[in-house]
Structure formats: C-alpha cells, structure tokens
Chain A
Amino acid sequence: MLILFISLSILPILGFLVSLIFKNHQENQISGTAIITTSLVLLCSSVLLIFFLSINSNPISYHIISLYKSPEFEFSLDIYYDLISGVFTIVASFLSLIISIFSKTYMHRESGFKRFYNHFLLFFIGMMILVISGDFETLFLGWEIIGISSFLLISFYRDRFLPIKNALKVLSFYRIGDVALLSSVWFCHHLFQTNINFDAIRYNHYAIALAQAHPIQILIISILLIIAASVKSGQLPFSIWLPRALEGPTVSSAIFYGALSVHTGVFLLLRTYPIWQYSPYSSWIIICIGALTSIITTLIAKVQSTAKTQIVYSSAAQIGLIFIEIGLGFHTIALLHFVANACLRTYQFLVSPSSMSYLIHDQFYSYNPHKKNPFSYLPKSIQSTLYLLSIKEFNLDYIWYRYQWQPFKKLGKSFHFLRNTVSEALFFVMMVIGLIVYIIYPIDGLVHYAFISWIYAIIALILILIAWTERISVIRSWMYITLSQLFFMLSIVQQHAFNMVEISLYLSGTLGAFFIGIWSLLKVKSQENTISLNEFHGHIYEHPRYGLVFLLSSLMMIGFPISPTFIGLDILFADIEFDHQFLLIISALTFVILELAVLRIYARIFLGQHVKTYHETAFRSS
C-alpha cells in the first residue's frame, strides 16, 4: 500500500525528469510521458480510493522520512490519506490526464511545447504532494511548487510584456498566501510544541486541551490559514489576481484557474479543519468571506464581456459557496461541489473559443433588444452604481496597487541613499562581525539582547526593500538580496542555540545561489550593452541557457525545494521564538518581498519584449 502512496508523488517526479530529456520537437515523446504519468497516477489513485473505501474509510498515514531532526524541530515527509485526499487525487489526476491529451494536439508546434509540459508536470508534482501530505512541512512543499509553476505558466509567453507583468502581480498575491501559511505553521509549531501531523492532530487530546486554553492563538492560526486559503482560491479581497492569471495557453488556464490550483484553498481549509474548528469565530469568518465573495464576484461576472473572465469570476463565486459549505460543516457537499466546479470550469475553459461562433449564432436567432438587465427592479442610481463598481472590479486592483504595494515601494526608495559603496562595505563588515561574534561567544550570553536580532531583521528588511526597488544596477540588487538573506539568518540565529548544521544548510543554499546567479548575470552583461532594472529586456531570446541558470539560482535563493535553503528556511522560521511576534512580522515581510525582488530581476533581465528589434517583437499592449 505504501508503494502506491509513494508512487503518487514519485511518478510525477519521474515523469517530470523524463520530460526534461527530450528536445522540443519530440512532441510525441514529451506528451506521451505526461499522458503515461497522469494515467498511471489516475490508476493508482483509483486503486487507493477503492481500497480506502473498502477499509471503512479510515484515514491512512505514513511517515516516510526525516530530512532533518533536532530536539525542537523535525523536518519530515509524511503522508496522510482520507476521503478528501481521495477525491482530490482522483480529480487532479483525471483532469491532468484530460489536459495532457488535449494539449498534445492543441500545443502542437508551439515553440514552448516542451516548456509547457515541463511546467505542467512540475505543477502535477506539487498538486500530488499537497493532497496526500501528512504534515505542514510536506504540504508547504507542494504549495510552493504549485506557486512557482503557476508563475512559470502565467509567464509562459515570455516574450510579451503583459504576461510578465501579470505573472509578477499574481506572484505578489501568492506570496501573501505563502507567508500566511508559513506563519500559521510557525504558530502551530509553538502552540502544540510539535510538528503538526494531520493524523495525530485529530486524536491528540493534549493538543485539543491546549487549543482550548489558548483561544487567541488558535484564532490567529485560523485567520492565517483562512488568508492562505482565500488567496489561493481567489476569494475576496484577493479575487482580482484570478482573471489576471489567464495569460498562458487556454489549457493551462483551464487546469490551474478553472480546475485545480484555484481549489487548493478549499483543500487547505478541509485539511486543517481539525485545527481551526477549535476557534468559534473561524467558521463565521469563512462563511462571511465565502458569502461576500460569491455575491461580489457574481456581480462582477455578470458584467464581464470576455469569455474567460466570465468563467473565472463565476467560478470564484462558486468557490465562495464552497467556503460557506465548509464553514457550515457540510464537508461532503463541499467536496461534491468542488468536483463539479472543477470539471465544469475545465470544460468551459477548453471550449471558450467556441463562444464566438456559438453566441453570434445564438444572437442571430434569439436576440431580444428589449431584454431587461438583471437588476432592473432596483432604483436607477443603485443599478448604475453596482454596474460601475462591477466593471471596476470594486476598485480592488487599484486599492491593492495604491495602498499595498506602492507604500512599500516608496519606503524602499526612501532608503536609496544607502545605495553606495561605503554603506555596502559597512553592511558587509557588520555581517562578518555579527557572524564572528556569534561564533566566538556562546549564544546563551547574547540571548538577552533580543534587540540585536531585531536590528538585524530590520536591516534585512531594508536591504530587501532596496533590492526590490532598485532601478539601475542588477548586480547591486542581487547583492542586496543576498546580504538581506544573510542578515535574516543572523537575526534568527542570534536568539537561538548555535547549530552549525542549520546555518550551513541555509548558507550553502544562499551563497551557492548568489554565485551561480552572479555568474549568469555577468555572462549576459559581458555580451549586452545594457542590463538595467529599468525595463524588461527579454534576453532569454538570445541567452536561454543563462536564463535557465539564473532562474534556477533564483529558485535556490528564495528557498524553493530544490536547494537546501528550503529546509534551512523552514527551520529558521521554526526557530523564531514564540514571544517574538515582532520578529516574525518583520521576517515575514522580508520573506514576501524576497521572492518578488528575486523574480523581478529574472523577469526584467530575461523576460518581456526583447530590447533588440531585428526579429519580430510584439507590441507592448498585446
């Protein structure tokens, strides 16, 4: 049985690796790999579900491996399987199979044919890991993979401006969700004094008692989880990223934003129900978010005049209803609703280009010029207001831009006076001294100076803000990112027992990423006149290899699960002491902006409209 579980995640990984070895024009091999992978996974999931139902639907759990273990923290991979996992694995593998067959012909001769399948299989890995994960660490692993593959597929048409712009925008929302999830894991970790194992949490009476004793903490954890779920499932106030994510080929929009990725929020809520159920308010929060979303996105859906946005907003509205069902405790209905919504939206997306001929034909025969609008019974002023608001998506895009990201950018720019060699040297010296002091003096002596770790954390934040708003030197930006990461590490180790393994895990990833990144940037710089951060350059057109190398180094830098930084990061987060919420907030912010700053560099240098125009380049507006 274990072998079946392991194959659920190993098969997609194998498929992904195999799909890497082919050349772009070997379409049959590439799509064949994906089709075989998804159908095998579908087979395994079906067998598992049948088996599961035959043993009276008792949840199954396995401990696979401990990647890292210390007295306080254990990073392990666990599997947990219940009806929720069963339904999600079946739907995910079924729809992925459909998409991999559909895309075989649909994506034929696309210059990114291989890239599409690579990213799609990467996503499939993430999805499978997520839905059978047995603990928060494993879940977060899948969650992160889904996030990055989303980014890569939104920016699939990497030689145009809008996909890149929107990919970065969607990413900025995803980061809110990621950090909310990571913070809730941190809270859980400290509250329950153990890693959260989904199997154990259901029966752990000690944990229940603990939860009941700390209603505030539980409420915070619940809110963080709800935020994470709302972000991923396009609920208010985050909904507006959803239509903006539809930049990839129709098939990827279908699987991500019609079917699977968008329902991971639903999954998260169902999976963490044993945690948030102890907070009396959380159900109400979920119900309110769901209700508000379904009403508002329905309004927005009604005024949409494009085929895909209409689908995506009405899907968000249905997910709002699923949230309500979850909040009310009707989990089986929620599951059923998920299956229906996922399949319906996939279908609608796939046939959305047909709406042109179908609806024109339909109008040709059934147009009614006197048809009333859906709210004609309301007073005119209310109608107009609602209509206008819906067209403007209730101003949410503007509000996020103006009141969320712009202030941070302004803040970042206000630190630009630090962009000079002197302060850089100063930071460097500070960092080295910090390290030396830390190594020479036993930690116990320093632990009382919590403010030192705060200072380091604030420096890390400032540095990352500078890096994020840097407009000229890409090398400087990359350097500031690395420095920021090192300060981040310093600030956390300052308040904790010295552990060389933790530090070296983290350092090796960060420094490795730094050197690989700087190498590829310098290579490109030596061949091109300009590489500034002021505009998109699209250098991937001429330098696809450096682009790939830099992307990999970026992923390492942000702690994507291909580098030891990932484990290091998790540990470091876990190491933030419970009473240091301030430090957590600062670190969380740093962490949000880190990924934006790193991928911004990647986007600005390698993606977007190519600065050279000797070949066809798209208009900026297309």
Chain B
Amino acid sequence: MNTDNHVFNLDKTLHELKHYLPSQKTLKDFIHHNSLHPFQNERFYDGIFRASKIFGYKATLQLQDYRTLFKLNRIKEHVIDRIIINRKGSDALEEWVEKVLINEYDENIEPRINKFRSDWKRVYKIDLDSLVHPLLYRILCSYLDQGISLWQFPIHPNGFLASIRELESNSHVSFFKTKKVQSLLQDASITMLDLLQVIVGDEHYYEQYLFDLCFSHRGWSGIIGVIEDNPGTLLIDKIISLQDMIHVELLMEYDTLLDQLGDSWKPLSHTAQQPPIDLFSPVESSELEEVLKIWQDSFEWSYYDEVINGIKTNSTRQKTHAKNISFQAIFCIDERECSLRRHIEYIADDCETFGAPGFFGVEFYFKPIGAKFKDKLCPAPVYPRYLIKEYDAHDHHQQDIMFNKSIFTLVHGFIITIGLGLSSIWKLLQIIFMPKMSPSISDAFSHMNKYSKLTVVNQSTHDIEDGLQIGFTIQEMSDRVYNFLKGIGLIQSFSPLIYIIAHGSSSANNPHHGAHDCGACSGRPGCVNARVFSIMANHPEVRHLLKMKGIDIPDSTVFIPAMHDTASDVIEYYDDNNVDEHINQKHKIIKQQFEQALDLNAKERSRRFASINTLQDIHKIRKAIEQRSVSMFEPRPELGHGTNSLAIIGRRNITKGLYLDRRAFLNSYDYRTDLDGTFLANVMAPIGVVCGGINLEYYFSRVDNVKLGCGTKLPHNVMGLIGVANSIDGDLRPGLPWQMIEPHDPVRLLVIVEHFPEIVLKTIQSSAAMYEWYKNEWIHIVAMHPETQEFFYFSKEHFRHYHVQPLAIKSIDNVHHLFEEAPEMITNHIKHATFENLPIYQIESNISC
C-alpha cells in the first residue's frame, strides 16, 4: 500500500479490503481457518502484533494472566530462563527476568483503524454508525436471506445495487430520506468515486476512509467479500459485491448527513487533524511485545517439553506385539478420536488403530435423495469432479410443525397460535424433562439414510450431472485406496475386519454445529466418505488392481464403514448386513467392545461437564452424554476441538499407551514404508491448513473472544441462515463462541513427525503454501529421528537438535481414577480453566502393539 500514489486505485483497495476482512464462510460451511490469515506471510509474532496495532485485536493473553500462570507453576521457571537465553543471550538473563516477572507495562491498545472516520463524531457530534448501520444490516440480511423470511427481497438478476434500484423505482417510498440521494441512487453515472468525493473530499483519504468504513462492521463486510468470491457458500444464489455494499452504504451516509446536518458540513478531509495514514506501514515494536513473546513461548514450551518427554519415554518402552490382529480401525485424525482409540485399544488389546483425515482420501459432492442441492465432502480447498448420489431409499427429511411458517402470519397464525400454543406447554415440559431427538435438532445420522445405496461405481464416463462425473471408475477408485493405505502405512497384515470410522456431531440449538462436524469433510459428518471408501476397498476389481501395485488384501478381509457421533458417543455401522456369518460373529463381538470403549470415552468426556457426575455408574454417564446432545438448554453439547495442541505424524507405536488428554491430532504414517518421503508430502499437506487452521482459530478466539471470536452464544440471533449476531442491530460475528473455547489453552500447534529431519525439511519445503506455516512459526514442528529417538526442532529454516530437558512422566494404572479425580474449573478464566487440562501420563496396564 502506498498512499503517495496520486490516483486512488479502487480495484486495489477493494482487493486489499477483502484480503484483510474476516474470511469465514456462512455457518452452514463452517471451516476452521487462521483468524489472522492476512498476516500469515509475516512471522507469527510480527504478524499478530501488527494486526493488533492496526485493528485493535488482542493478540496474546494479558501479561497479568501469564504471571498468574507462572505463580501457579503452569509456566515453568527453567523454561522462561531458557527462552530468555535463546532470545536475548545469557548475559541479559537477569535483566529480562525482571522485565518479564516484575516490570509494569501499559497494555492499552490504540489501533490505527477508525482514526479518520471517527471525526464525524468529533467534529459534527453525529453518530453515523448508529444512524446508518441498523437499516443497512437489515437490507443486507433481507437480501441475502436463505430462508427465514416469508416475504423475500425482490431480486434483480444484476445483483444487489440493481435490486435496490428496482425496488426503489417501483415504490412510492424510499430507504433514503432526501430527494437528492434518491436521485443519486438511480443515476447510473454516479460512481463510488463521486460519492467519496462528496463525503470524504481529498482523494488521499479515500483508502483510509473505506477501511474505516468496512471495518466498522467487519462481520457484514467480510461475509459479503466471501460471498462475492465464493457464491457457492450460499444455498440460494445471491449476487452481491463488496463494491455494491459500499456504494449503498455511502449513499446512506450521505443521506443521513444531509438529513441531520443540512448544509452545515464539509467533506471529512477538510477537518482532518492528521494527514492520511497508511494503515499497513511498519509498526514500532515495544518492550512489552518482547516480554509477551517470552511469556507465550514459555507457556508453550512448558507443555511441549512434557509431551516430547512423554513420547521419548514411551517410544522406548518394551511393547509386546499381538500375534493375531483381530481387527483394524481407521479413524479421523481429529483429536476427539484420540481418546476413543486409546479406549478401544485398551478394551480389545489385539486390535490396531490408525488415523487419517476423515474424508478417507475420497473427494466428491454428495446429493441425498430428494435433495435440491449437493454437499461437498472433502477438505475445503479441494474442488472435486465427482458426484455421489443416494438412491433406493425413502426421503429422510422430516418436518417440525413448530417451525411451520404460518405461525408468523396473522389469520392462520391466530388459529395455529391457539392450537400450537397450548401444545407448546407440553413441548416446553418435554425439552426440559425428556430431551429427545427431533427434526429441529441437527442430527449427524440424518445426513444420509442408513439403508440407501450410493452411486460409487461409475457406469460410464459420460454419466455427467451438473458437470460432475457420477461415481468413480475402477482405476480412480484403486488410485484413491492405494494412496490412502500407503499414506497411513497399512500395506500388509490386514485383519479380517477393517473399520472405517468417520465422525459427525449431533447437537441441539446450536448454530455452530458445523464447527463440530468433520473438518476434512468441509464441516459435515463423514459417514458418506466412510461408506464410499469401504465400497471402493471392498470392490473385487479394485482389490485386483491393488494387488498388482503390491498391496495384497486377502479376500476374507472386509471393510466396514461406521460413524462415531462425537457429541452423543454413539457409533452407527453401515453396510454390515451382507457379510459372512463367520465375519458377522466377530463383528458382533467387536461391536460390543466398541460399546465398552464408548462408555469409557463418555466417562472421560464427562469430567469436563458440570452437569454430569463422573462418579456415577458408567452406563448412566453414557446415557447423560447422549441426552446432552439433544438438550435444547445445553450450550456445550460437546467441546469441539477445544484444547487441541498437538499433531503427531508417525506410527501408533510412539503414542500408544500415552495419555494425551484428547489434545492430539494423530495421523498414522510409517516412515519404513516411505523412506524417501514420497507420501509424506500428501500426509503433511492438510496438517497446516486443517489442523493449523483449527488450532489458530481456537487460539485467537481464546485470546480475544469478543473481537476475533463471536462472544458468548447466549444472546445470538440467527441472521438470514448465514451467520449469527448479537440481537438485532449487531454486526455478524465470525469466530468461535465462548462456550467452545473455555477449556482451550492458547498454544500454537506442535507438529511431531517421525522421520529423518532432512526428509521432513524436504517435505515441508515442497510447497510454498505449506512451508509458510512453519517458516513463519505459526506452527511449531519437531522431527523425531526414528532410529535414535532424538528430537530436532525447526527454527530459522533449519532443523536443530533439541536437547530435551528430562522430566519424569508420571504413570497411572487406572484411568477411572484419573477422570474421577480430575479438577473442574471454578471459572472459565485461564487461571482456573487451564487446570482441567491434565499432564501427560503413561498408562501402565495393557500395553501391546
């Protein structure tokens, strides 16, 4: 950005605006991403502190909080010393210890944004925002509405501005109060530049004014930029651009100024006190920032050291190898499956588990029976060429009379109000005393009919719908299965039953339910992917091709798809009724084992839920967990990705038997099958964008929940089915709600890869986009040398040997005690909340491999 340009460049400014505005899509497509991604091309601390100085975000915890964590021994003294020595040299240790622990600093932030446009208030005592925003939001929301209103905005095919013009020209009244602006609206020769000239005046201030304007309601500006670039994020197409929005907003501002001030005002640049500022010019760094960096690093490494120690100790432990593997289960890498894997391994000590991104390497769009639209089921940046259709089952769409729109009309409404009103007495009692599944609850299992069939196998490559090929050819299928199995290192010793376990989440009264579903499936339940993958892997011709490529799956081996509901802790199995009797017997036993594992999983989760007593009978806990997911009054059906902090890529061997407290994304990978790292690049590709995105979204929503998160859920109002806002006049709120981030410790993701450092380096450098995450330290990465078990930490573009400070890792022999005695936070302040996150333990009983 260069304000010395003599000509204001509208396109460039619009482009930059879109770059810096929030980029969260509509809530139905909830995909986690780095909330400060515009700054990702800078080093982590430079980026976040710059963002803070420009836009006023809080980028770290408060100094006071870190110091409290230190007093509580959550941040370790020796780690602080080490970080200071690394950053400042050992000579400066004493000086910096004092700064870090004792000195007082002014932590107030005075951002650059809105320094200029706020002059309206300073000079003319007029609160433009209060006078313009409510109507603007209402118009935008009505225009974009996806199905709340009974009377839709009359849409003109040319987009937002054209629709407003048409509506105004047909109407006897106007959105605008002054005749002058009414005619300006209809005048197609008036451009945004003309409006800027009357409102702002001096061209040099345009860019600053537009940034101030768009960031005065960053939620709406952001979503409009996103819709402009990704129209597909709306179910029902609406054409809108940021430029149109600004055009209308400037007209409304002009109108308000004329109405309130008459002629007694001048363009804003005439009264400016300062020359135009370049928002993005370099910022000065401060000592406070240095101190915060030391604290944040120390907070992170106080935890990481423990993890690295744990893994080191664990991977050298003697483990017995089960001779006959009874079954294998492949889960999503999601850190919520980390505990279920631990439990099933405990219950069935002859099983083997794997982790891989939950779309299981198959990317496609899915169209259920009777649906008017299709869903994308793969990571967000992927644009599939395939369509999977559901057939041969009944429509699974149920309606809820309480959401019938006639309630909102007058005459029908009268009759319905009396009728439904009296029955709602019963409904009220029911949602409180007998919560149960109903059509108004978002049910992960309703995504697909359990008994339907899927068009997985392509009949002819000419079979095209909406430009997408229906199903996959044999070759395409075998490629996907091959790559997938190779990626997780499962190329031999196939057991008779292999479970492909997707996950989804059911929750009631939760506009953010998409954030709990599978991130690798674009925020949707992954059951279809599990089924599609299993159908492929069970296909005889696919098996044949795999065999030719060197993966020999025995004919007796069956892949069984399933889905784990991470909120209700229920597993549903698919396509399991046509298997051999012999296999079926085993399947029945395994299902029982999974039930026991789910009981344990429910118990483990219940320790964080105040409403469930962890000491009661385990079956009661399970029941309570299930009920929780259908309770309207429960704003925390589950805790989502809260507490995530690790991504471990390697064999299960190194983490098996280690208690990681559901904080680790676990991706299976066997360096032995991929010594030169060919497949590692594929495995690593989603780690930054998916796991890093999740982690940083949680980080920022935690450290500044009210600016970068969306605040507490409780006053939220659903806006046009695209987002939430506080009450009716509020701006759209991107980010995560308080209820999701409470237990989260804001630490960056630590990626641990079990491979030779040089291979890991080569891999992360193989793509610039991937490398940026690590190079700029938005994610930490450590390579674990598979032969020496030494650790190498990546910083300043090199892997360097990391001297692990030896720490004793405690062992436990009974997880029940652990869950029952774990502390529960008194308040959700970090000083209490962080103690819900337990240390790393070794679990003594039942280690096998």
Given contact pairs A314-B408, A365-B397, A388-B168, A102 touches B173 in the complex (Cβ within 8 A): no
Interface presence of B172 (CB below 8 A): yes
Interface residue stretch chosen among A55-63, A173-181, A245-253, A435-443: A245-253
Contact of B170 among A156, A314, A369, A384 (CB under 8 A): A384
Contact of A304 among B149, B420, B513, B715 (CB under 8 A): B149
Interface presence of B145 (CB below 8 A): yes
Interface residue stretch chosen among B103-111, B318-326, B479-487: B103-111
Interface membership of chain A positions 586-620, coded 1 if the CB is closer than 8 angstroms to chain B and 0 otherwise: 00000000000000000000000000111111111
Cβ–Cβ contact A306 & B634, under 8 A: no
Cβ–Cβ contact B409 & A298, under 8 A: yes
Interface membership of chain A positions 350-373, coded 1 if the CB is closer than 8 angstroms to chain B and 0 otherwise: 111111111111111111010101
Contacts of B399 in A (CB 8 A): 362
| Complex: A391 Cα to B721 Cα, angstroms | 18
9 nearest A-B pairs in the assembled complex, by CB-CB distance: A340-B421, A614-B107, A384-B170, A357-B442, A249-B714, A305-B145, A384-B171, A344-B421, A356-B511
Interface residue stretch chosen among B85-93, B648-656, B699-707, B804-812: B699-707
Closest to A27 in B: B610
Cβ–Cβ contact B417 & A613, under 8 A: no
Contacts of B432 in A (CB 8 A): 98, 101-102
Closest to A165 in B: B130
Interface presence of A348 (CB below 8 A): yes
Interface presence of A490 (CB below 8 A): no
Cβ–Cβ contact B373 & A106, under 8 A: no
Interface membership of chain B positions 428-453, coded 1 if the CB is closer than 8 angstroms to chain A and 0 otherwise: 11011000000111100010000000
Contacts of A10 in B (CB 8 A): none
Closest to B407 in A: A314
Cβ–Cβ contact B403 & A110, under 8 A: no
Contact of B147 among A107, A304, A362, A621 (CB under 8 A): A362
Interface presence of A70 (CB below 8 A): no
| Complex: A165 Cα to B109 Cα, angstroms | 24
Given contact pairs A354-B509, A384-B167, A367 touches B729 in the complex (Cβ within 8 A): no
Cβ–Cβ contact B721 & A355, under 8 A: yes
Interface presence of A271 (CB below 8 A): no
Given contact pairs A157-B726, A343-B424, A347-B402, A305 touches B148 in the complex (Cβ within 8 A): yes
Closest to B432 in A: A101
Interface membership of chain B positions 401-432, coded 1 if the CB is closer than 8 angstroms to chain A and 0 otherwise: 01100011110011001111110110111011
Closest to B107 in A: A614
Closest to A156 in B: B715
Interface presence of B828 (CB below 8 A): yes
Interface residue stretch chosen among B198-206, B216-224, B381-389: B216-224
Pick the most buried of A101, A305, A365, A384: most chain B CB atoms within 10 A of its CB. Answer: A305
Interface presence of B236 (CB below 8 A): yes
| Complex: A246 Cα to B717 Cα, angstroms | 9
Cβ–Cβ contact B151 & A375, under 8 A: yes
Given contact pairs A314-B413, A343-B421, A306 touches B148 in the complex (Cβ within 8 A): yes
Given contact pairs A243-B728, A339-B421, A359 touches B147 in the complex (Cβ within 8 A): yes
Contacts of A392 in B (CB 8 A): 135, 173, 175
Contact of A306 among B407, B428, B717 (CB under 8 A): B717
Interface membership of chain B positions 234-247, coded 1 if the CB is closer than 8 angstroms to chain A and 0 otherwise: 01100000000000
Interface residue stretch chosen among B136-144, B657-665, B790-798: B136-144
> Interface size of B by Cβ–Cβ distance < 8 Å?
123
Contacts of A612 in B (CB 8 A): 108
Q: Is the interface of A mostly helix, strand, loop or mixed?
A: helix
Looking at the assembled complex, report how far the CB atom of A35 sits from the nearest CB atom of chain B, in whole angstroms.
Answer: 11
Looking at the assembled complex, report how far the CB atom of A120 sits from the nearest CB atom of chain B, in whole angstroms.
Answer: 13
Cβ–Cβ contact A618 & B509, under 8 A: no
Cβ–Cβ contact A355 & B403, under 8 A: yes
Given contact pairs A388-B173, A613-B56, A618-B711, A362 touches B635 in the complex (Cβ within 8 A): no
Looking at the assembled complex, report how far the CB atom of B751 sits from the nearest CB atom of chain A, in whole angstroms.
Answer: 28
| Complex: A397 Cα to B442 Cα, angstroms | 37
Contact of A344 among B403, B420, B717 (CB under 8 A): B420
Closest to B105 in A: A614
Given contact pairs A381-B172, A622-B733, A25 touches B826 in the complex (Cβ within 8 A): yes
Given contact pairs A306-B141, A344-B407, A385 touches B421 in the complex (Cβ within 8 A): no
Looking at the assembled complex, report how far the CB atom of A187 sits from the nearest CB atom of chain B, in whole angstroms.
Answer: 34
Cβ–Cβ contact B371 & A365, under 8 A: yes
| Complex: A298 Cα to B171 Cα, angstroms | 20
Contact of A341 among B167, B421, B721 (CB under 8 A): B421
Given contact pairs A357-B511, A381-B171, A364 touches B705 in the complex (Cβ within 8 A): no
29 cross-chain CB contacts under 8 A: A27-B610, A94-B425, A105-B633, A157-B715, A163-B727, A249-B712, A253-B715, A302-B149, A302-B151, A303-B151, A308-B717, A310-B408, A318-B417, A340-B422, A353-B510, A353-B511, A353-B713, A355-B148, A355-B403, A363-B236, A363-B372, A365-B371, A365-B372, A365-B397, A373-B152, A384-B171, A387-B151, A387-B167, A392-B173
Contact of A391 among B138, B373, B410, B427 (CB under 8 A): B138
Contacts of A253 in B (CB 8 A): 715
Contact of B727 among A105, A106, A308, A398 (CB under 8 A): A308
Given contact pairs A391-B139, A613-B108, A357 touches B421 in the complex (Cβ within 8 A): no
Cβ–Cβ contact B718 & A356, under 8 A: yes
| Complex: A398 Cα to B138 Cα, angstroms | 15
Q: Is the interface of B mostly helix, strand, loop or mixed?
A: loop
Cβ–Cβ contact A621 & B129, under 8 A: yes
Closest to A116 in B: B714
Closest to B26 in A: A360
Closest to B397 in A: A365
Looking at the assembled complex, report how far the CB atom of B54 sits from the nearest CB atom of chain A, in whole angstroms.
Answer: 14
Closest to B170 in A: A384
Interface presence of B611 (CB below 8 A): yes
Pick the most buried of B219, B409, B424, B631: most chain A CB atoms within 10 A of its CB. Answer: B424
Interface presence of A380 (CB below 8 A): yes
Given contact pairs A355-B403, A367-B236, A618 touches B707 in the complex (Cβ within 8 A): yes
Looking at the assembled complex, report how far the CB atom of B61 sits from the nearest CB atom of chain A, in whole angstroms.
Answer: 10
Looking at the assembled complex, report how far the CB atom of A85 sits from the nearest CB atom of chain B, in whole angstroms.
Answer: 19
Interface presence of A162 (CB below 8 A): yes
Cβ–Cβ contact B440 & A616, under 8 A: no
Contact of B634 among A105, A249, A337, A356 (CB under 8 A): A105
Q: Kindly identify, within residues 182 to 223 of chain B, every residue whose CB is under 8 Å from any CB belonging to chain A.
A: 216-219
Cβ–Cβ contact A616 & B706, under 8 A: yes
Closest to A106 in B: B633
Contacts of A160 in B (CB 8 A): 706, 726
Interface presence of A131 (CB below 8 A): no
Given contact pairs A110-B714, A351-B509, A389-B173, A305 touches B149 in the complex (Cβ within 8 A): yes
Closest to B398 in A: A361
| Complex: A612 Cα to B110 Cα, angstroms | 10
| Beyond A346-B428, A619-B707, 4 additional pairs, beta carbon < 8 A | A160-B706, A308-B727, A361-B442, A388-B174
Cβ–Cβ contact A621 & B150, under 8 A: no
Looking at the assembled complex, report how far the CB atom of B271 sits from the nearest CB atom of chain A, in whole angstroms.
Answer: 18
Given contact pairs A162-B727, A250-B715, A340 touches B418 in the complex (Cβ within 8 A): yes
Contacts of B425 in A (CB 8 A): 94, 343
Interface presence of A244 (CB below 8 A): yes
Interface presence of B632 (CB below 8 A): yes
Q: Kindly identify, within residues 58 to 104 of chain B, every residue whose CB is under 8 Å from any CB belonging to chain A.
A: 58, 62
Q: Kindly identify, within residues 545 to 564 of chain B, every residue whose CB is under 8 Å from any CB belonging to chain A.
A: none
| Complex: A248 Cα to B130 Cα, angstroms | 19
Interface presence of A295 (CB below 8 A): yes
Cβ–Cβ contact B730 & A162, under 8 A: yes
Contact of A385 among B173, B216, B718 (CB under 8 A): B173
Contacts of B174 in A (CB 8 A): 388
Cβ–Cβ contact B827 & A359, under 8 A: no
Cβ–Cβ contact B175 & A302, under 8 A: no
Interface presence of B742 (CB below 8 A): yes
Interface presence of A307 (CB below 8 A): yes
Interface presence of B782 (CB below 8 A): no
| Complex: A156 Cα to B726 Cα, angstroms | 12
Looking at the assembled complex, report how far the CB atom of B470 sits from the nearest CB atom of chain A, in whole angstroms.
Answer: 20
